[in-house]
Structure 1
């Protein structure tokens, strides 16, 4: 299969303005956000995060990045694509050793064991992390904008390199889209899985198939919600 970065580039070239991700935060007591991200905007987020990893944190093929963000969240999607753009290994298993941790909880026990930490504020309009950060922790909301909108990898992963560690399983770059249930070409897919490894693969699969995802965080994405008809949902992802 093509590299994930090539899949995203092909999607942008086909139609840059088409939605890639539409995100609903249905978390009880949460902000109730609805955010729509086009393919072009998604690529910009991915490029900035990849530049932060490569230039700021010296991540490269062979490095391991733990992304400890909730699924299905749009920020998890672009950080996963950024790790793959650099050619590193993405892990969503918190017990896995990692060179960098990307997290919305920089005070967690896991964060205490990591030298390099990126603190992610989940709200879309956040301009700084809400809370005091220890010295050396990167505040994504405050710092990511300083990185370039375009990205060129210094090196690329090989097809047999580990792309994803999830649930103890290691998935190579060649197999990122293997063994997933088929999705119709151009699907507008409702995605509600909390399995982070499955989620990032589903997003990549939809981009590869000219599709888009409607993400629902914090509540079951029930099929009879009138929002899904308004969004043009015509497929529901498993998991």
Structure 2
């Protein structure tokens, strides 16, 4: 089964796996976090494993994500997709009908 995570990550991992994919600047800290496509894919795989093995998320499930605009959110969303589930945000129609696992 091809997932949304495959569609996003496979071309990036093929083209240049070590190139920066996600860069987050925290002006309050000040700090910078930079993740390559390889690191981002690894993060997403770990999240997918957690969702499947510990939470019981199955392909086709809806996972409601109530997360801020942050670099960690990218890994969580890709992980949900990697698990074959759908991402819904708080307040979306999918979230209201889901009764699904929350991230």
With normalisation by structure 2, the TM-score equals 0.82
The structure richer in helix per residue is 2
Counterpart of 1:61? 59
For structure 1, the 5+ residue unaligned runs are 103-239
- Structure 1 or 2, whichever has the larger Rg, is 1
Tell me which of the two structures has the higher relative contact order, counting C-alpha pairs closer than 8 angstroms and 6 or more residues apart.
2
State the alpha-carbon separation in 2 of the partners of residues 47 and 3 from structure 1: 12
State the alpha-carbon separation in 2 of the partners of residues 6 and 86 from structure 1: 11
Counterpart of 2:6? 6
**Structure 2 residue 79 is the aligned partner of structure 1 residue 92:** no
State the alpha-carbon separation in 1 of the partners of residues 99 and 65 from structure 2: 10
Structure 1 stretches (4+) deviating beyond 3 angstroms?
none
- Tell me by how many angstroms 1:13 deviates: 2.0
- Tell me by how many angstroms 1:63 deviates: 1.4
Q: Deviations over 1:8-28 (max 9, x none)?
A: 0221122110000100123xx
**Structure 2 residue 41 is the aligned partner of structure 1 residue 40:** no
- Tell me by how many angstroms 1:87 deviates: 1.3
The verdict on how the C-alpha distance between 1:18 and 1:98 changes in structure 2, with shifts beyond 3 A counting, is: farther
For structure 2, the 5+ residue unaligned runs are none
SS in structure 1 at match of 2:58: coil
State how 1:118-197 maps to structure 2 within 5 Å.
none
